Amino acid sequence: METMKISFACLLVLCTTVICQDESIRPRYQKFISQHINAGMSATRCNAVIHERGITKTNSNECKETNTFIRATTNLVKPICSQAGEPYGTMRKSLKPFDIVVCTLKNQGARRPHCDYKGQSRTRKIAINCGQGFPVHFERDIVHFND
């Protein structure tokens, strides 16, 4: 009976730890989705989407200099953190290229809501940071498919 109580207590602690870890990563994963996932994105929609999603430099009202949207679903991007990616320094690099839209600020130093972006469509492998198996930061696109 005592062994069963200890086993149950250990199981409870383990489950609580896993739930807490998932909860701590959830806001970062949601921010990643909001800032970087848009399957229907086009190069002409940078201003509208960045404005709708309230994307700015972290903790400010300044326009972000560049923002990259991955034209895919989370079901295609999340696996980069496991079987669909490989180590790339401290990050993970996608094994396959993605269609992306890179939005670059045209009016440097502008503040929201006066951000004006030029979009460019590309096909690139991507490098992301992962936390507990979830994408949490878009680092960059990779031009050369063989690196």
* pLDDT higher than 50, residue 8: no
Band of the pLDDT at 146, cuts 50, 70, 90? low
Q: What is the pLDDT of residue 1?
A: 54
Tell me which residue of 88, 108, 95, 43 sits closest to 69, measured CA to CA. 43
Amino acid at site 30: Q
Q: What is the pLDDT of residue 17?
A: 34
CA distance 88 to 127: 7
SS (H, E, C) 98-139: EEEEEEEECCCCCECCCCCEEEEEEEEEEEEEEECCEEEEEE
Query: For residue 73, is it within any domain?
Result: yes
Mean pLDDT (whole number) for 43-63: 95
Determine how many CB atoms are found less than 10 A away from the CB of residue 30. 12
For tokens 């031009």, name the residue: 143
- Classified as helix, coil or strand, 36 is helix
Band of the pLDDT at 19, cuts 50, 70, 90? very low
Q: What is the pLDDT of residue 58?
A: 85
Query: For residue 31, is it within any domain?
Result: no
Query: For residue 74, is it within any domain?
Result: yes
Query: For residue 60, is it within any domain?
Result: yes
Active-site residue list: 36, 137
Q: What is the pLDDT of residue 144?
A: 64
The domain tally of the chain equals: 1
Element (H, E) at 6: helix 2-36
> What is this structure's pTM?
0.81
Domain region containing 51: 39-142
Query: For residue 8, is it within any domain?
Result: no
CA distance 47 to 8: 53
Q: Which CATH number characterizes residue 63's domain? A: 3.10.130.10
CA distance 18 to 90: 23
Query: For residue 33, is it within any domain?
Result: no
Percent residues over pLDDT 70 in the chain: 82
Q: What is the pLDDT of residue 77?
A: 98
Mean pLDDT (whole number) for 87-115: 96
Q: What is the pLDDT of residue 16?
A: 34
Query: For residue 78, is it within any domain?
Result: yes
Q: What is the pLDDT of residue 22?
A: 59
Query: For residue 57, is it within any domain?
Result: yes
Query: Which DSSP category does 97 fall into?
Result: -
